[in-house]
Chains A and B, each alone.
Chain A
Amino acid sequence: MNVHQSLAASRPPEPFPPIAPDVIAEDAMVRFEAVSKAYPAYRGKPSVKALEDIDFAIPRGAITGVIGRSGAGKSSLVRLINGLEKPTTGRVIVDVSDISALSGRELRLAQRSIGMIFQHFNQLSSRTAADNIALPLEIAGWPKAEIAARVSELLDLVDIADKRNRYPSELSGGQKQRIGIARALATRPSVLLSDEATSALDPQTTRSILDLLANINRELGVTIILITHEMSVVRQLAKEVIVLDAGHIVERGHVADIFTHPQHAITQSFLSEILGDAVPVSLSSRLQHQPTAGSQAVIRVVVRGDGGDRLLARLSRELAIDAALLSARIDEIGGQQVGSLTLGVPGEEAVVARVLSFLVQHRFSAERLGYVA
């Protein structure tokens, strides 16, 4: 593997490989076994159960998302993986070692195989970009000459070699996060923990950072765990997702499955955020319950899977009905179409019934919202 090659000139992420069977324990990079974490009451604050009954395995070499609202237990999860905290019960296995049982020098050695990037970049203001990247190597006790060579490699890897002598206060958020990624990869870790790494960045910069992470995952084979509250981040990068709510795993599986068939209310709410499920106000304000002469029936079609893009053409060809497209949003998630369409069709009951039965036949869920003149 050629780490000198710049990964920043990002190619679009390749389509996801076919769905793999459940991860076998030996194949897991990170494994939680019956983990719970409680914080005792302290200085008047009541005790908190941050995580309960957490069991999961994160496959080696994959990008896995962990999504949850604030307070869902994401930070505790991160601190259990990187060994900064011990579980109250259960075990946390990273690679081959039980990180929850290690301490002192052994723990510090294990921590070097876990890279971490942060929402607020956490860079030393007193060090240049290059020296920030060198920090974990200094901590690991590398000789000076080797540190210099490795830092140059890493600066090229994240495509920011021209900023090597800049201080963090002179860099943009995206540049700081590139430095953060280089620093996290310095000791050649097998796991990269991304703790809300793009939450402080604008959409365009977020995109470029996520592309960089995808490339790093592909080129270096580093297992990446994306901790986030943004479904769009998970959608863009992750193959599998774990949905966390109030300290419990409420749902998990392949991103495409979760997106097409969300089970839990919290997952649905994450989804509606990126899909914009609401009907436009300009339309909903005109809706009537009863048809009037010449009015259109408004039908809402939820697309989860396939065929949403060809729906209008098929209605026209197969039913000879000209449907108007009133609003639409279709995204592709893990190779599957997810979204919703709002159609206007002629308001006669017979026509509406035919359209609805056609939709149900083709496994779209559809509902009649009302009529507009």
Chain B
Amino acid sequence: MSPELINLIIQATGESLFMVAVSASLGTLFGLPIGVFLATSRKGELFAAPAANAILGVIVNATRSTPFIILVVAIIPFTRLVAGTSIGSGAAIVPLTIAATPFIARLVEGAIREVDAGLIETASSFGATPLQVVLKVLIPEALPGLVLSLTLAVVSLLGYSAMVGAVGGGGLGDLGIRYGYQRFMPEMMLAVVVALIALVQTVQTAGDYLARRVNRRLRHR
């Protein structure tokens, strides 16, 4: 493989990492509070607001049930509004974030719901505000689950980021389609697949390690 092609792969990997890093960060920024709210707003819960909970649940489900490739195309006007263009890695961050947010919200909800209700009651009996319960009890206690959830989200985003290549989003997917598929370069396709596998492996291993580090529940048992 020529040095130019290797350079292309390195550049595309960088673009993919950039898209995933930014969209995962933004997705967490939006998804974490939504997830916490979903987990604490049913009847009788910390921030009880059953109607808001139901409406938010429907919105989250609607976003999640739209196939990602359709979502990318459907929101092109919105993407243009936000990013100024609908082409390239920067623009791809918009649909990636919109797909990541509800996904992360549901994962966060699941992780938060795993926390023993007795702990919420305990903190409340000490006179904790609902916000204190979230910050001092729910999030720290759910941290191992949250780390694994975010790992899963990042891995999914790597897959999505390859998909935006189909609509000119840049990154490894773009490279694979333009060189591997349209220019009939099987070695390029192979390189792209290997790079993606390596990225997923690295992310998953790092996530597993981190989740073990923050888990105090089973250590030394």
**Chain A residues within CB distance 8 Å of chain B:** 82-84, 107-112, 114, 116, 118, 120, 122, 124-127, 135-136, 138-140, 167-170, 187
Q: Are A139 and B136 in contact (CB under 8 A)?
A: yes
Q: Are B136 and A138 in contact (CB under 8 A)?
A: yes
Contacts A125-B141, A139-B128 aside, 9 further interface pairs with beta carbons under 8 A come to A83-B125, A84-B124, A107-B127, A122-B119, A126-B216, A136-B126, A139-B136, A168-B216, A169-B219
Q: How far is the CB of A89 from chain B (nearest CB, A)?
A: 21
Residues of A within 8 A of B129 (CB): 108
Asked whether any CB of chain A lies closer than 8 Å to the CB of B187, the reply is no
Tell me the bound Cα distance from A118 to B121 in angstroms. Answer: 11
- A111 and B121 contact, Cβ closer than 8 Å, known pairs A124-B137, A126-B141, A170-B219: no
Contact partner of B122 (CB less than 8 A), chosen from A108, A110, A122, A140, is A122
- A84 and B127 contact, Cβ closer than 8 Å, known pairs A124-B141, A167-B219, A169-B220: no
Q: Are B216 and A125 in contact (CB under 8 A)?
A: yes
Q: Are B127 and A111 in contact (CB under 8 A)?
A: yes
Contact partner of B116 (CB less than 8 A), chosen from A107, A122, A139, is A122
Q: Are B216 and A118 in contact (CB under 8 A)?
A: no
| Complex A-B: 23 CB contacts under 8 Å | A84-B124, A111-B125, A111-B127, A112-B126, A116-B126, A118-B118, A122-B118, A122-B122, A124-B119, A125-B216, A125-B217, A126-B143, A126-B216, A127-B140, A127-B216, A135-B123, A136-B127, A138-B136, A139-B126, A139-B136, A167-B216, A169-B219, A170-B219
Q: Are B126 and A135 in contact (CB under 8 A)?
A: yes
User: Which of B123, B125, B214, B218 is the most central at the interface, judged by chain A CB atoms within 10 Å of its CB?
Assistant: B125
Tell me the bound Cα distance from A127 to B132 in angstroms. Answer: 15
Residues of A within 8 A of B126 (CB): 111-112, 116, 135-136, 139-140, 187
Residues of B within 8 A of A111 (CB): 124-127
Contact partner of B132 (CB less than 8 A), chosen from A112, A122, A139, A167, is A139
B44 nearest CB neighbor, chain A only? A42
- Tally chain B residues at the interface, Cβ within 8 Å: 25
Tell me the bound Cα distance from A169 to B216 in angstroms. Answer: 7
A128 nearest CB neighbor, chain B only? B216
Asked whether any CB of chain A lies closer than 8 Å to the CB of B183, the reply is no
Residues of A within 8 A of B128 (CB): 108, 139
Q: Are A118 and B221 in contact (CB under 8 A)?
A: no
User: Which of B122, B219, B220 is the most central at the interface, judged by chain A CB atoms within 10 Å of its CB?
Assistant: B122
A-B pairs with beta carbons under 8 A, tally: 69
The A-contacting residues of B in range 119-173, CB under 8 angstroms, are 119, 121-129, 132, 136-137, 140-141, 143
Q: How far is the CB of A171 from chain B (nearest CB, A)?
A: 10
- A169 and B217 contact, Cβ closer than 8 Å, known pairs A138-B136, A139-B136: yes
Tell me the bound Cα distance from A240 to B126 in angstroms. Answer: 26
- A109 and B127 contact, Cβ closer than 8 Å, known pairs A120-B118, A170-B219: yes
Residues of B within 8 A of A112 (CB): 126-127
Tell me the bound Cα distance from A136 to B123 in angstroms. Answer: 7
Residues of B within 8 A of A110 (CB): 127
A124 nearest CB neighbor, chain B only? B141
The A-contacting residues of B in range 90-126, CB under 8 angstroms, are 116, 118-119, 121-126
Tell me the bound Cα distance from A306 to B217 in angstroms. Answer: 52
Residues of A within 8 A of B137 (CB): 124
Tell me the bound Cα distance from A116 to B125 in angstroms. Answer: 8
Contact partner of A169 (CB less than 8 A), chosen from B118, B121, B141, B221, is B221
Q: How far is the CB of B128 from chain A (nearest CB, A)?
A: 5
A-B interface, 5 closest residue pairs, ranked by CB to CB distance from nearest = A108-B127, A111-B127, A136-B126, A122-B122, A126-B140
How would residues 197 to 221 of chain B score, 1 for a CB under 8 Å from any chain A CB and 0 otherwise?
A: 0000000000000000010111111
Residues of B within 8 A of A167 (CB): 216, 219
Residues of A within 8 A of B119 (CB): 122, 124
Tell me the bound Cα distance from A170 to B219 in angstroms. Answer: 8
Residues of A within 8 A of B124 (CB): 84, 111
B120 nearest CB neighbor, chain A only? A122
Tell me the bound Cα distance from A140 to B123 in angstroms. Answer: 11
Contact partner of A84 (CB less than 8 A), chosen from B125, B136, B221, is B125
Q: How far is the CB of A58 from chain B (nearest CB, A)?
A: 18
Tell me the bound Cα distance from A137 to B123 in angstroms. Answer: 11
Tell me the bound Cα distance from A126 to B132 in angstroms. Answer: 15
Q: Are B125 and A124 in contact (CB under 8 A)?
A: no
Residues of B within 8 A of A107 (CB): 127
A136 nearest CB neighbor, chain B only? B126
Q: Are B217 and A139 in contact (CB under 8 A)?
A: no
Tell me the bound Cα distance from A110 to B127 in angstroms. Answer: 8
Q: Are B219 and A124 in contact (CB under 8 A)?
A: no
User: Which of B121, B214, B218 is the most central at the interface, judged by chain A CB atoms within 10 Å of its CB?
Assistant: B121
A139 nearest CB neighbor, chain B only? B128
User: Which of A107, A118, A139, A187 is the most central at the interface, judged by chain B CB atoms within 10 Å of its CB?
Assistant: A139
Residues of B within 8 A of A120 (CB): 118
Tell me the bound Cα distance from A135 to B136 in angstroms. Answer: 8
Q: Are B220 and A170 in contact (CB under 8 A)?
A: yes
Tell me the bound Cα distance from A226 to B122 in angstroms. Answer: 17
Tell me the bound Cα distance from A139 to B132 in angstroms. Answer: 7
